[in-house]
Amino acid sequence: MDKVAIVTGAGQGIGRAIATELAKAGSIIVIVDINPRGGEETAKMVISSGGHAFFAQGDCSKGNEVKQISEAVQKRYGGIHFLVNNAGISPKGAGGKRLRIQDITEEEWERVFNLNLKGVFNWCKWVLPVMIEQGFGKIVNISSIAGITGGYPGPSGAHYAASKAGVICLTKTLAREAAPFKITVNTVAPGRVETEMSDQTDREVNEATKKQIPLGRFARPEEIAKGVLYFLSDAADFITGETLIIDGGRVMD
């Protein structure tokens, strides 16, 4: 059987690129997104290119919806081999500028954490037992360099940066829990990427950010997707708990 891959937030941007690249590599793609239009478009793109995909609408922040989708996938295909937790949001202030912490409402803070971090928890909670039972699985969580730098000097607010830092920590915890079962859990942390999300940012902020990138541009979504594919490949069988930064050299230790 071909590998079955769930990709969340695959209705656009990085998630869509991950889904299409995984399909090219031969995986059956389960596209999860809260937006039916975007999710269906991605499914059509994969199918028109000769791949196998179907769309499941769902809110990753709601555990009952995640449970229902994961059970439906397992019933339909008999297993889940890859999980890519990509769904996330990064709210901006007026004009696409950074939201200062005093301008972030409690509701907005919870909304970001519910999707960016709780969403990852929900999917891992329901998919990891499936992988343990079948004796194989690989999980890749999408974080951000904001989770390493705190978001500065870019446009990411405190809620986004803190949620993405949580993704990195959660990945390490899960990697240790899953290791005895030969299941790997890793993180990809992109810098700025040419997506709908970056288009919402103030133009001056985007231009200033490009000047901080040694390679002089934002990443393309497919470049992030290839990093994900590496972690899902046989070449990364002995790598777990790691964070791959793809940012054109912006963050250097």
Positions marked catalytic: 160
| Residue of 123, 114, 134, 224 lying closest to 174 (CA atoms) | 123
Q: Which residue has the tokens 């090219």?
A: 24
Cβ 14 vs Cβ 42: under 8 Å: no
The alpha carbon torsion through 91, 95, 99, 100 (nearest 10 deg) reads 180
**Interatomic CA distance for residues 171 and 167, integer angstroms:** 6
Tokens, residue 156: 């990411």
H or E element in which residue 226 lies? helix 221-232
- Tell me the three state secondary structure of residue 234: helix
**Dihedral angle sign, alpha carbons of residues 54, 60, 66, 70:** positive
Side-chain half-sphere exposure of 167, counting CA atoms within 13 A:
37
**Interatomic CA distance for residues 135 and 148, integer angstroms:** 32
